[in-house]
Structures are given as C-alpha cells and as structure tokens.
Structure 1
Amino acid sequence: MTDTDAQTIVTRNDEDRRYEVHVDGVLAGFTVFRADARGRLHFPHTEVDPALRGRGLAQTVVREAMADAARRGETVVPHCPVVAKYLREHEVPGLTVEWPDQPHPE
C-alpha cells in the first residue's frame, strides 16, 4: 500500500483535549488544545509518530483543527511552533487568531 492509498482522518477528541490524525485507523499524531477562562483555545503542542513523519500529517491535523475551530466560531491562541507556522502561511476563513506575547513552552 502506498501513502496515497492510506485513509487519513482527523477527529476532535474533547475528552483528551486534542485533535487527532489517524492513518488507516491508527493514531498517527495530534495537536493539543486547552480552553482558557475566556473560552479561547490555546494550542501548545503538536506531535506525530516518528515512524510516520514526512507525510505532512502535522500540517493535516493542524489544518483540520483550525478549520473546525473556525466553523465553531472559536478563537485560537497559537503557542505551538507548528500551529503558528501554519497560521502565518495559510489563511483560515472565519478564524479569529490572538497571537501570544510570549511563546508557550511545550
């Protein structure tokens, strides 16, 4: 099976407070979020299984997470370098982004 044949799905896991990317039903990575007292979603960390790196999965999970946050009308605060880079390079229609004064340590 080639990478293009693999089924990639992104889901929101509210219990674990993260968006997850699954490849052929196996958890391949995630981006973590936490809501603050004002209801903003802070994204401090994104991780992909080392065995599956190089397939664009971090970008996939972040792209889908940002699109979902926009659909929900949520405000995103990007602390994670992966999330911040994605938002600097891509416009997400309808998404409100509040840039942090200081990056958040992972």
Structure 2
Amino acid sequence: MATEVRNNTALERFELTADGQPAGYIEYQDTGDERALVHTEIYPQFEGRGLANVLIQAALDASREQGYGILPMCPVVLHFVNTHPDYIASVPQRARGLFGLPQ
C-alpha cells in the first residue's frame, strides 16, 4: 500500500492518503515553538493496517524538522511516543511530567 502524508497548514492537520484515498489525519495547534498534536483519526475502512503509526511518525518527524517541540495531547500520539523513546527528546522537558514521560 502506497502512503503519503501532507501538512495541510490551512486546516492545521497532517493528512494521510493510502493508495490515493484519504485515510486519516492528525489535527494540531501551533503555539510559538511548540506543536500540540490534539487528535488522530484513521477512517474505519483503513483501520488495523498500522496506518496510525505511519501518520504519527510522519507528523512527528516533520514537526521536529520544523523545530517544534511536541505536546502529545492525543492519547494515540502519546502512546506512540512512549513506545518509541527516541521521540521523547522532542517533548519539551518541562512538559514531560505532564504526560508521564521520563525526564
């Protein structure tokens, strides 16, 4: 399955397509140098294929490349960060305790 993730800045969300079809999105809110990832949605016909991980990783990588600190407000994003410790450094240290992440 071919996937692509694009940042739709007008809607403040990363959008995922799978084989050319809309498959889901992550909504975000930027505040200064931090990006809060607030909601992840994978459309029902695409669930169970690991696409949430593809979408989250792309959103985290793009946000990190743009210099944003990450606030994993969405439980799915927080779980991803917890299970992929290399992304913990992207969460500002002052916020890690709020999300139960190691300092």
- Confirm or deny a common fold (TM above 0.5): yes
**TM-score between both structures, scaled by the size of structure 2:** 0.83
- Identity, in percent, stands at 27
Can you give the 5+ residue segments of structure 1 that lack an aligned partner in the other structure? 1-5
* Residue of structure 1 in register with 2:69 after alignment: 75
* Residue of structure 2 in register with 1:57 after alignment: 51
CA–CA distance in structure 2, aligned partners of residues 34 and 100 of structure 1: 20
Which of 43-52 and 90-99 deviates more? 90-99
Does residue 101 of structure 1 match 2:98? Answer: yes
CA–CA distance in structure 2, aligned partners of residues 26 and 100 of structure 1: 38
**TM-score between both structures, scaled by the size of structure 1:** 0.81
* Residue of structure 1 in register with 2:11 after alignment: 16
* Residue of structure 2 in register with 1:3 after alignment: none
| RMSD of aligned alpha carbons | 2.0
Tell me how many residue pairs correspond in the alignment.
Answer: 96
CA–CA distance in structure 2, aligned partners of residues 79 and 26 of structure 1: 27
Can you give the 5+ residue segments of structure 2 that lack an aligned partner in the other structure? none
CA–CA distance in structure 2, aligned partners of residues 78 and 19 of structure 1: 14
CA–CA distance in structure 2, aligned partners of residues 55 and 100 of structure 1: 31
Distance change >3 Å, CA 14–CA 7, structure 1 → 2: same
* Residue of structure 2 in register with 1:42 after alignment: 36
CA–CA distance in structure 2, aligned partners of residues 78 and 13 of structure 1: 19
- Secondary structure at 1:92's aligned position in 2? helix
